Amino acid sequence: MPDFNEIKKYVEEVFREGDEMVANFEWFYKYHISIVYKIAIKLAKKYKANETVVGLAAILHDIGITVDPKQHDIAGAKEAERILKKYGYAPEIIKQVSNCIESHMCEAKKPNTLEAKIVATADAVSKFKSPFFFIKACAGKQTPEEYIEWFPNKIKREYEKIFFDDEKRLVKKEYEVLSEMCKFRG
């Protein structure tokens, strides 16, 4: 059986090494990927999904940022396939994980399995339940004006990709507060 902890270590290292390329993303593993993983595993247990697929997809869901930041869902699915094959995962697991990653942004492809919906939801929920947006504002390459322009649509897209009512209710207050903040333009 392949060692899941090796995958986690590998992903953490990739983000540490890719830090300069991806706009100060050394924080990304600690404040995003690891949080998505924790939320995804809780949801997998709650909704009785395949925890192996969900766990691997959660850890690898943003690996494509280090390859192609503009289409990281598509690049990430391919990169995950390469990584999982290298670590000896079964083709069926690889296919399911790749599907989750390719659809986690709900753009190029919509989630079509329970596991994919869980990963997309965990990704979205994590952004409302962590300092993600604040760190991105400080560490990213956007000017304050660019960030303020980007932010309202981003939080709306994230909220809309939550596939489960319980989890939508869980972040509704944060979504409303952030949405209200976006209305203020000084």
CATH number (domain holding residue 60): 1.10.3210.10
Residues of the chain above pLDDT 90, percent: 69
For residues 107 and 158, give the distance between their C-alpha atoms in angstroms, rounded to a whole number: 11
- Is a pLDDT exceeding 80 seen at residue 1? no
What's the domain count of the chain? 1
Residue 137 has pLDDT above 90, yes or no: no
The better pLDDT of the pair 101, 146 is held by 101
What is the average pLDDT across 8-25? 74
Contact 77, 102 (CB under 8 A): yes
Enumerate the H helices of 18-164 as residue ranges.
26-28, 34-47, 51-60, 72-86, 91-103, 114-128, 132-139, 144-160
Instruction: Please give the pLDDT value at position 23.
Output: 52
* pLDDT-wise least confident of 14-23, 119-128, 144-153: 14-23
Q: Which amino acid is at 161?
A: K
| pLDDT reported for residue 105 | 95
According to the model, what pLDDT value does residue 70 have?
Answer: 86
pTM of the shown model: 0.93
Range(s) of the domain holding residue 110: 4-183
